[in-house]
Amino acid sequence: MNAIPHGYHTATPYLIVNDAVSAIEFYKSAFNATEVMRLADPSGKIAHAEVKIGDSSIMLADEHPDMGYVSPAALGNSPVSIMLYVENVDTAFEQAIKRGAVELRAISDQFYGDRIGTLKDPFGHIWSLATHIEDVSPDEINKRFAAFFTQ
């Protein structure tokens, strides 16, 4: 028996949203997610659901303020950003925007070797979409970072 179930990674995001049914549909259409499972309570609220994006699972559920689970909408923003590597960031970013995401930071090539842009999904979660375009050593990243501030 493995401590980590087959198909999962050590860390798995668990998103709280204010409309999990709609969020599942958004993640399917915007990020090509596949729905793995959902557990709905008698009222139809999602107590637990899982989607898979690429090789990674993401868990999600509807808000339950009485249990301390509130969405970014209830908080006024999200303090967390999810990094999502994709084959073509330009295409994936455009697809998410067309499905209702809002651009927070335009796509650009960065000194650390990624082409990356940031958006907010309709449920308040922040996603940084990236395509890795260059292998850069930690030493070189530090040099480029320092140079970034001298420009």
Instruction: Dump pLDDT digits (tens) for 28-61.
Output: 999 999 999 999 999 999 999 999 999 999 999 9
Neighbouring residues of 63: CB distance < 8 A, sequence distance ≥ 6 = 16, 17, 18, 69, 70, 71, 74
Cβ atoms 123, 21 nearer than 8 A: no
The stretch 128-145 carries a mean pLDDT of 97
- Residue 13 has a pLDDT of 96
Q: Where are the domains of the chain?
A: 14-148
Instruction: Dump pLDDT digits (tens) for 98-120.
Output: 999 999 999 999 999 999 999 99
CATH number of 14-148: 3.10.180.10
* pLDDT greater than 90 at residue 150: no
Average pLDDT in the chain: 96
